[in-house]
Structure 1
């Protein structure tokens, strides 16, 4: 039996249920319920926006509403991590169809709150409107606390490339879901809810990271962005990439493909990629490549990647 829909309640009642009992913190001067949220910061403020659209970034038939809420926050906060900013808060703009059940919105906000707690961000407010499809836009704010931001443009010849977090898990999960299956469960869950390595952006900055980026589009694609911004060449050493057993299972099940393709080209894991002097790589990070002089390119084991897929593209 269908539950109550969004059309059967008022906008402000729905907003009230979303924001009821939200936690706050000493940095928040004005929280949800006014025209703007107001917060204090110790240093420069980092800001980023990330948008998810139904049937492009998620499907209701694949993901629970809690998963969508968690993914919206995680994908946005990962950008703050890549700049070495401490998350302060997030504002969410949610577009939903009138026939959507209120229980979906309640599940979504529960996922938002869960991921906010994990990431250290506070839900500061947002906007609610009607539309044909569900669309979520998350804008996040982070405090650099007097530290300089770690950008994409600082990689130096002689540096090594290191990663913190998972690579290619979400891509393997998407492959499984596209074929109508739900296992291996570990990769399906990775597609539904990414796991950014919260706190590691600051760890990397304090260890001397020269450049950093959130791996959202895929390893080769995002290292390409970093190489272009820094004006360097990057080579990935596949012998240093970890192929997990579920990735091998999926690759074998879809025709015996190379599971490294998931790792090299798959996006949505939101691992962190950074460059360091070889002696400065912090614990919890693993070296996967090198930086050298040359045209801004990314090679694999010293040669151009010959696969058809390089990474995620919207258009």
Structure 2
């Protein structure tokens, strides 16, 4: 029998989660007590149903893990190690307890980052805020948006475009179900299914971020709001111009016919970083996509060798919805 959250209440739900997940046994005091760390690196992300995800998209375990990886991607972009995270859950009491358990199973799957505490409140719709605490080597070696220099090459750590039209494709499929994430109904091409699985199962580039830092890289950003938006951030924060050179090899097969829109779609959670000329990263799955030049924060885009203009750089959380 799948009871509702309202039948357990706040204390009953927390007790149920602690019984279900041994990693939560240390939770119980008013505050979490953490060991000292050299260089704290902290990020916060909020996600709300209807804005950032829908429950029908995929099993709750998949969605919980997806949101955690999205938050961890900020830590990866700093070249830091993720240590702990905290949850602030807003929940409709009518949601089934089994769904919440599955959601927390996804949140707690990783063994390298620990859920150290949180808050649970009643809300009109499901939402969660994740605060992640990481550890950097030291302040001087943290990867920053403001450390791009003229002459640096620009690289990305993975394919782009997984979010382009993903909600519409998920709706066509009736959502994806099971551990293998198969369409519940409707038909998807193999390329579309590859894209949607990547969209629902991002993996924060934590290990690669640390490798980049150790290789001497000092500038990076995670691509959460779109390539163009993030490249523009690097330009402005570093007071340089960026030149992007894109072609179809940078994208998932299902979106190669619309590279400009795919570059602005966001939610790729791969890293965009700058590296001095002479450093090579192709062997670790990275692709060179441009360079930085002396300037004042402008961005120029070439598609298949031809200069193009764009209407939108990427996702804007407070922008007008079309």
TM-score (norm 2): 0.85
* 1:262, distance to aligned residue in structure 2 (A): 4.2
Other structure's SS at 2:154 match:
strand
Q: Which residue of 2 aligns with 1:74?
A: 69
Q: Does 1:89 align with 2:84?
A: yes
- Per mean C-alpha deviation after superposition, the further-off stretch among 35-44 and 120-129 is 35-44
Matches of 2:123 and 2:13, distance apart in 1: 16
Task: State whether residues 165 and 195 of structure 1, in contact with CA within 8 Å, keep that contact through their aligned partners in structure 2.
Answer: no
Matches of 1:19 and 1:272, distance apart in 2: 34
Q: Which residue of 2 aligns with 1:255?
A: none
Q: Which residue of 1 aligns with 2:295?
A: 294
How many residues were matched structurally? 297
Other structure's SS at 1:38 match:
coil
Q: Which residue of 1 aligns with 2:314?
A: 311
Matches of 1:123 and 1:190, distance apart in 2: 24
Q: Does 1:219 align with 2:227?
A: yes
Q: Which residue of 2 aligns with 1:122?
A: 114
- Per mean C-alpha deviation after superposition, the further-off stretch among 173-182 and 39-48 is 173-182
Q: Does 1:245 align with 2:253?
A: yes
Q: Which residue of 2 aligns with 1:251?
A: none
Write out per-residue CA displacement over residues 25-57 of structure 1, whole angstroms, 9 at most, x where no aligned residue. Answer: xxxxx9411111122244110000000011000
Q: For the structure 1 residues 134 and 279, does the alpha-carbon distance in structure 2 shift closer, same or farther, using more than 3 Å as the test?
A: same
Q: For the structure 1 residues 136 and 305, does the alpha-carbon distance in structure 2 shift closer, same or farther, using more than 3 Å as the test?
A: farther
Write out per-residue CA displacement over residues 48-95 of structure 1, whole angstroms, 9 at most, x where no aligned residue. Answer: 000001100001122321122112211111111111110101101111
* 1:264, distance to aligned residue in structure 2 (A): 1.4
Other structure's SS at 2:128 match:
strand
1:37-48 correspondence runs (5 A): 37-48=32-43
- Per mean C-alpha deviation after superposition, the further-off stretch among 32-41 and 98-107 is 32-41
* 1:297, distance to aligned residue in structure 2 (A): 1.8
Q: For the structure 1 residues 305 and 95, does the alpha-carbon distance in structure 2 shift closer, same or farther, using more than 3 Å as the test?
A: farther
Q: Which residue of 1 aligns with 2:124?
A: 132
Q: Which residue of 2 aligns with 1:151?
A: 144
Matches of 2:196 and 2:7, distance apart in 1: 34
Matches of 2:62 and 2:236, distance apart in 1: 33
Matches of 2:90 and 2:317, distance apart in 1: 20
Q: For the structure 1 residues 17 and 205, does the alpha-carbon distance in structure 2 shift closer, same or farther, using more than 3 Å as the test?
A: same
Other structure's SS at 1:171 match:
coil
TM-score (norm 1): 0.87
Q: For the structure 1 residues 305 and 264, does the alpha-carbon distance in structure 2 shift closer, same or farther, using more than 3 Å as the test?
A: farther
Matches of 1:70 and 1:125, distance apart in 2: 17
* 1:22, distance to aligned residue in structure 2 (A): 3.5
Q: Which residue of 2 aligns with 1:192?
A: 200
Output the aligned Cα RMSD: 2.2
Matches of 2:247 and 2:196, distance apart in 1: 25
Matches of 2:251 and 2:98, distance apart in 1: 38
Task: State whether residues 41 and 143 of structure 1, in contact with CA within 8 Å, keep that contact through their aligned partners in structure 2.
Answer: no
Structure 2, unmatched stretches of 5+, are: 175-182
Q: Which residue of 2 aligns with 1:253?
A: none
Other structure's SS at 1:9 match:
helix
- Per mean C-alpha deviation after superposition, the further-off stretch among 80-89 and 171-180 is 171-180
Q: For the structure 1 residues 229 and 178, does the alpha-carbon distance in structure 2 shift closer, same or farther, using more than 3 Å as the test?
A: farther
Q: Which residue of 2 aligns with 1:142?
A: 134
Q: For the structure 1 residues 43 and 303, does the alpha-carbon distance in structure 2 shift closer, same or farther, using more than 3 Å as the test?
A: farther
